[in-house]
Amino acid sequence: MDRLRRALRERPSVGTDYQPVDSEAHDDSASSVHPIKAELAFSWIDYSIFLFLGVSMLWAWNMFLASAPYFQYRFEASPWIENNFQSSILVVSTLFSMSSMILLTRAQKSASYPRRTWIALMINLVTNLLLTISSVTFKTTVGGYFGFMLVMVAMSGVATSLQQNALFSIASGLGREEYVQGLMAGQGVAGVAPCIVQIISVLSVSQDEGEGDGTERAARSAFTFFLTAVGVALVAMLALSYLMQRHQQLLSIKAPIEAHGEDDSEPGLKNHSVSLQVLGRKLKYYASALFLCFGLTMVFPVFAQEIYSNVPENEAPRLLQRASFIPLALLLWNTGDVIGRSTALIPRLRLTYAPKLALAVAVGRFGFLPLFFLCNIKGRGAVVESDFFYLVVVQFLFGLTNGWLGSACMMAAPHWVEDSEKAVTGGFMSLVLVSGLTVGGLCSFLVS
């Protein structure tokens, strides 16, 4: 690993556009352009708060994915919707996330990152409340509920963009890469926890009840699932409030990026404008790796919905039946993702000074794609008749590499820009991440 890292490490001879920046090597006056003039000491309290805010950031997104069995029951009367609702969720969510992220990135002159986070949490709270109510009282046509669901997905996509843009900018602006990793790890936990909740809610139904109305059982599970999401949003609000009390200076953090180069800095805050093109040149390898990483990742929810256990449904234990096998596959992927995001904290596994290696790994991950086609897609039989192969070798390792590579790129990016550009670097990399998700979501129709 070390030999490969050295071989692909960026050399000083490539020029000045893409060189890591050691902030201590610059003149002390350079720090005056950044809202926070001294590097804050690491705090486990702050890390834990960023971790939970990362959980809240993607909880709703993963909730829609893990609720696939419930949506399948709701849409079973329409074959087209039942076969394409997962891809529709991916496309609508990523398109709204992408559009919102572009607007947020280009409207930074008077941006208040804490305010953006508050708005996002309020949107999530309202969305989750409506979904909770709909699971027990909203009786309508298949098309009507499909439209309602997509509206909820769109609202969640906007909220996710608000949170990503704001929280990554705050974490990067504080100058602590550990807080950036905390957000990334929290996003991974947000994938694990909803799957566990969904599996428990399915298995908690007695066997006698399990032989009854499947739609009713799924609705009860979804009610518990969506209600939990309401609680997550409320706790996230309390966590953000406490973080703001600990760091009053966060209230004044403004992004130094300007869409057209105007200088509208507030008095006492000396903003340094930087264009997306400049950041793109400085971070070309990490940005490309992040784009490919999350673009490819978007195929796994579609496969998770379409791949069945190799044990026949009427003979399978409840854990391997479709209602729990789908969230089980998502759980394995997300568990690998969380572990991968955590390993990015290990110094020897970081990619801070190996941008070409990051891009090479991103390209190499495309080798996972043909492995999905060896599994039991829609019950037609598998080339490799093993649930272990599908759940561990394919899903778990696919998630592991996603979490490690994504976190490593996000953590490395601030090291390659000036101090005055660190806050906006978080927003820029979030834009790249969402761009990858959007393209991947559109391409997911090809495999659905």
Highest mean pLDDT among 106-110, 148-152, 222-226: 148-152
Helix, strand or coil, per DSSP, at residue 377: strand
pLDDT of residue 222: 77
- Position 161 pLDDT exceeds 90: no
Q: Which residues pair with 377 in a beta bridge?
A: 307
pLDDT of residue 26: 40
Highest mean pLDDT among 97-101, 246-250, 365-369: 365-369
What 3 state SS string does 76-129 have?
CCCHHHHHHHHHHHHHHHHHHHHHHHHHHHCCCCCCCHHHHHHHHHHHHHHHHH
pLDDT of residue 238: 93
Sketch the domain layout of the chain as residue ranges.
2-11+43-256+280-446
User: Residue 109's closest CA among 283, 274, 287, 277?
Assistant: 274
Is pTM, for the whole model, over 0.85?
no
Position with higher pLDDT, 270 vs 197: 197
pLDDT of residue 443: 81
Q: Are 232 and 58 in contact (CB under 8 A)?
A: no
Contacts of 213 (CB under 8 A, 6+ apart): none
- Position 78 pLDDT exceeds 50: yes
Question: DSSP secondary-structure letter at 23?
Answer: G
Question: DSSP secondary-structure letter at 283?
Answer: T
**Mean pLDDT, residues 305-310:** 90
pLDDT of residue 301: 81
Q: In the numeric block, which tokens belong to residue 335?
A: 């568990």
Contacts of 27 (CB under 8 A, 6+ apart): none
Q: Residue 423: exposed, middle, or buried by beta-carbon count in 10 A (0-12, 13-18, 19+)?
A: buried
Using CA atoms, how far apart are residues 165 and 163, in angstroms rounded to an integer?
Answer: 6
Q: Are 325 and 313 in contact (CB under 8 A)?
A: no
pLDDT of residue 396: 96
Model confidence band, residue 448 (pLDDT cutoffs 50, 70, 90): low
In tens, the pLDDT along 162-221 reads 888 888 878 877 777 788 888 888 888 888 887 887 788 777 765 555 444 556 666 777
pLDDT above 90 covers a percentage of the chain that reads 27
Place of tokens 């997905």: 153
Q: Which residues pair with 307 in a beta bridge?
A: 377
Q: Are 229 and 60 in contact (CB under 8 A)?
A: yes
Q: In the numeric block, which tokens belong to residue 276?
A: 């997306």
pLDDT of residue 257: 41
In tens, the pLDDT along 346-394 reads 888 888 889 999 999 999 999 999 999 999 998 888 999 999 999 999 9
pLDDT of residue 98: 84
The listed CATH number (2.60.40.2230, 1.10.760.10, 3.30.450.20, 1.20.1250.20) that belongs to domain 2-11+43-256+280-446 = 1.20.1250.20
List C-alpha distances in Å: 303 to 44, 366, 393.
Answer: 37, 15, 14
**Mean pLDDT, residues 12-33:** 43
Residue 363, CA atoms < 13 Å, CB-side half-sphere? 9
Question: DSSP secondary-structure letter at 175?
Answer: T
**Mean pLDDT, residues 225-254:** 79
- Position 34 pLDDT exceeds 80: no
- Position 44 pLDDT exceeds 60: yes
User: Residue 229's closest CA among 114, 340, 154, 135?
Assistant: 135
**Mean pLDDT, residues 342-346:** 86
pLDDT of residue 14: 40
Position with higher pLDDT, 346 vs 442: 346
Least confident of 13-27, 82-96, 401-415: 13-27
pLDDT above 70 covers a percentage of the chain that reads 79
pLDDT of residue 201: 72
Q: Residue 196: exposed, middle, or buried by beta-carbon count in 10 A (0-12, 13-18, 19+)?
A: middle
Using CA atoms, how far apart are residues 238 and 220, in angstroms rounded to an integer?
Answer: 28
pLDDT of residue 442: 80
Q: In the numeric block, which tokens belong to residue 426?
A: 């978080």
Mean pLDDT of the chain: 79
Highest mean pLDDT among 173-187, 256-270, 292-306: 292-306
